[in-house]
Amino acid sequence: MTRRFSLEDLILTANLIDGRWLSAADGARFAVIDPGTGNTIAEVADSGPADAHAATDAAARALPAWRDTLPKERAAILDRWHDLIVAHEEVLGELISLEQGKPLAEGRGEVAYGASYVTWFADEGRRIYGDIIPAQQRGKRMSAVKEPIGIVAAITPWNFPLAMIARKIAPALAAGCTVVGKPAEDTPLTALALALLAQEAGVPAGVLNLITASRERGIAAVADWLEDSRVRKITFTGSTAVGKYLARESAATLKKLSLELGGNAPFLVFDDADIDAAVSGLLASKFRNGGQTCVCPNRVYVQAGVYDAFSRKLADKVGALRVGPATDPSSQIGPMINTRAVDKIARHVDDAVAKGARVLTGGTRLPECGAHYFAPTVLANATDDMQLCCEETFGPVVPLFRFDSEEDALRAANDTPFGLAAYFYSQDVRRTDRVSRALEAGIVGINEGAISSEAAPFGGVKESGYGREGSRYGLDDYLSIKYLCQGGLE
Ligand code: NAD
């Protein structure tokens, strides 16, 4: 029978190392803050290099036996983990809302989304095929087999505290790798809860190890993994600056890297678009998690013929979004994650207004709700000299840029070092084909704002990183190919 854990049971404060829940080696702790109220939810282990090293030691000890399990044995454990996550959708959703600030319905949605990767990779792990290479010489047999890459270090951001770590741990375990991981300092609790459920599902001691840490101590802890030649892969989701640092610092031991980094997604609305569909698609993609999503449209380009109608309809809908505590079921937009985040949003809006943007709705902080709230905002007359054009705002702000020709729109859309997601709305099939080919992005939404799926390859091009999560390609990042050449068979 599935054991049921309450929210209190799932709020854990220790590291999981070698199957044991341990305080940081030096006993240090840091506070996890509810972004809606500023209250402390719990104090968790503030780990350093010694804890990171102990986690790697455990992962190294567990690797030989885990690597040798049958894929279907690993799948059975992952399936049990999936079922436990789904069975705890309500409480995990609450925990996500509490520590991250996304509305409850979205918290629950994230649980289902994260769980979908677990079951997906349980199945994909059964299909790690190799190749028999057609003979090139008599007496020789050549084949290619795929093997787990070894110990994987997973480092994740705060904006999807469950889904981001689940979609790294699941393929790693399915491939036969062992894992050391560190969730973001803002949202460590969901990851620890997930680890407890993994333990309950039968993941053996040392196969999954998680440590938590504050920002500075976490950097030192991760540095231990970067230097350790036993760690063969880093899988990271977060900002481009940190991704580049990890690539540089892991070069000495030449680790394989998957980097899911920042975006600056364009969203194009052509004159021939279905305007209502474009407004709905933009609302769905932009305001998920209050705009704190790497695939959120950051720049919205609207063709001159529909600019006024689109802006009006959009501003009406955005102005009606309900802002409030994440744990209030009627809230559609919760608090931003922390002071740094809300300050950046305010800076972008102030800069845009100073350079000529017009506020159609919102535009201000909402101190009456709390220190981290910002009003859903639409800005008209955005231009490319504004900060929000070249940096991810990561908040509920839609800047509207006007364009005349398809060529101009594509030039502007691609004029960024980033290339994660892009979206466009058009009902012309020829344009649909042209624009989807021309956009420099790893993911393109065509008349669609909701693009994420465990069955699809998620990842970027350019400075948005490399590697893919989900889909049948998602396991490749955790495998290496071994070529076997057998002679003397004549
Ligand atoms: P961040 O890069 O600041 O932090 C991400 C993680 O890295 C955290 O766990 C943090 O503690 C850790 N970290 C930070 N500096 C480090 C260092 N020097 N060494 C080792 N670890 C370090 O990012 P964030 O603010 O938490 O997340 C937001 C960013 O993540 C945005 O840029 C967003 O676009 C991106 N993101 C990308 C995807 C994707 O799939 N491409 C998904 C979600 C978020």
Residue spans per domain, the chain: 7-261+464-483, 265-453
Between the CA of 260 and the centroid of ligand 1 the distance, in Å, is 9
Contact in structure between 472 and 480 (CB atoms under 8 Å): no
Q: Which two tokens stand for residue 268?
A: 């194009």
In this structure, CATH architecture of domain 7-261+464-483: 3-Layer(aba) Sandwich (3.40)
Is pTM, for the whole model, over 0.95?
yes
Side-chain half-sphere exposure of 370, counting CA atoms within 13 A? 21
- pLDDT tens-digit readout, 290-341: 999 999 999 999 999 999 999 999 999 999 999 999 989 999 999 999 999 9
* Structure tokens, 210: 């998680």
Q: Ligand 1, closest atom to CA 460?
A: 41
Q: What is the pLDDT of residue 1?
A: 66
Residues 98-119 have pLDDT tens digits of 999 999 999 999 999 999 999 9
Which of 294, 298, 337, 340 has most ligand 1 atoms within 8 Å of CB, for mutation? 294
Mean pLDDT over residues 201-216, rounded?
A: 98
Q: Which CATH number fits domain 265-453: 3.40.50.10490, 3.40.309.10, 3.40.140.10, 3.30.450.20?
A: 3.40.309.10
- Do β-strands 256-260 and 231-237 pair in parallel, antiparallel, or remain unpaired? parallel
Which residues line the pocket of ligand 1, CB cutoff 6 A?
Answer: 155-159, 182, 184-185, 215, 218-219, 222, 237-239, 242, 245, 260-263, 294, 392, 420, 460
Q: Do domains 7-261+464-483 and 265-453 have the same CATH topology?
A: no
pLDDT digits (tens, 9 = 90+) for 164-205: 999 999 999 999 999 999 999 999 999 999 999 999 999 999
Residues 6+ apart with CB under 8 A from 389: 299, 382, 383, 399, 401
For the annotated catalytic residues, the residue numbers are 260
Residue having the nearest C-alpha atom to atom 26 of ligand 1? 157
How would DSSP label each residue in 8-62? HHH---SEEETTEEE--TT--EEEEE-TTT--EEEEEE---HHHHHHHHHHHHHH
Pairing of strands 397-403, 377-380: parallel
437-489 pLDDT, tens digit each:
999 999 999 999 999 999 999 999 999 999 999 999 999 999 999 999 999 99
Q: How many CB atoms lie within 10 A of CB 376?
A: 27
Write out pLDDT tens, residues 397-418: 999 999 999 999 999 999 999 9
Q: Across 183-272, where does the E strand assignment appear?
A: 208-210, 231-237, 256-260, 265-269
* Token pair in block for residue 448: 């669609």
CA of 237 to the centre of ligand 1 (A): 6
Q: 410: number of CA atoms within 13 Å, CB side?
A: 12
Query: 3: pLDDT confidence band, cut at 50, 70 and 90?
Result: confident
Match 């800076």 to its residue by tokens.
347
